[in-house]
Amino acid sequence: MGRLDDKIAVITGGAAGMGRIACERFAAEGAKVVVADANGEAAAEVADAINAAGGTAAASAVDVREAAQVEAMIKVAVDSWGGLDILYNNAGVSPGDDGTPLETSEETWDFTFDVNVKGLFLCCRYGIQAMLDSGGGSIVNVASFVAHMGAATPQVAYTSSKGAVLAMTQEIAAIYARQGIRANSLCPGPVLTPLLAKFLSDEEKRQRRLVHIPMGRFGEAEEMVNGALFLASDDASYMTGQSLIIDGGITKTYTTPL
């Protein structure tokens, strides 16, 4: 028996990194998974691999900034398997030119918020209706530890967008708690994914981040997915509106270097 047997899940950003691992893990735990990603070809490859391994998956090419595409993504789950139980909003961006308020362009700010905030809002708009039709469900929104405290390496648009994710999640949790829908935020610390790798181009940058982590290492994507699996499953049935921080202790000791 899997922890997600008979559950229907949509996972955005599902073709690579933490998203791909989540799709594979959720399918292994018994969920029927829509692998959703802006790269439709890569999403199809992940779905094919899951099906070949004995799981159940379908693919959806989606730009989460576009309402019609998001609506079509949710429709894949409903049309394929009859509803939606889990919405895992993992898609996000962290532009390399995101810096201080003096450095960050309006274009970078708008792009970051369009994907990380508007995109999540649209996924919830269409996903929540499908969940209401299905009798309830669980929403997992990926935020970040920086939403709680800011980052030593300036990234004002990303940090601000993830703060918005926390607030939106709390609002959704409050609105729909009595209708059987739970919503929680997953807040990873620094994880070795392609998104982080571009900020670790040399050993000095790597050590600048590692010095703040009590465990002395970066997180692994699998460790974050373990948290998402908990939030998505019935193990977290009395948990909503919360922020699950998985960060190796960084938020308890974090200081800005001189």
d(CA 247, CA 188): 6
Q: What percent of the chain has pLDDT over 90?
A: 80
pLDDT at 258: 39
210 is written with which tokens?
């590692």
pTM for the full predicted model: 0.93
Q: Is residue 147 part of a domain?
A: yes
Residues with a catalytic annotation lie at 158
Range 151-174 average pLDDT: 94
Mean pLDDT, rounded, for 98-123: 96
What is the average pLDDT score of the chain? 92
- Domain housing 133: 8-244
Q: Does residue 36 lie in a domain region?
A: yes
Phi/psi-derived region of residue 246, left when phi > 0, alpha when psi is between -120 and 50, beta in every other case: beta
- Give the tens place of pLDDT for each residue, 200-213: 656 666 666 777 78
pLDDT over 90 (residue 121): yes
What is the model's pLDDT at position 257? Answer: 47
CA proximity to 146, closest of 103, 116, 114: 116
Does 252 map to a domain?
A: no
Residue 126 lies in a domain: yes
| pLDDT score of 214 | 81
In this prediction, what percent of the chain has a pLDDT beyond 70?
A: 92
User: Residue 32 is part of a domain; what is its CATH number?
Assistant: 3.40.50.720
pLDDT level of residue 199 (50, 70, 90 thresholds): low
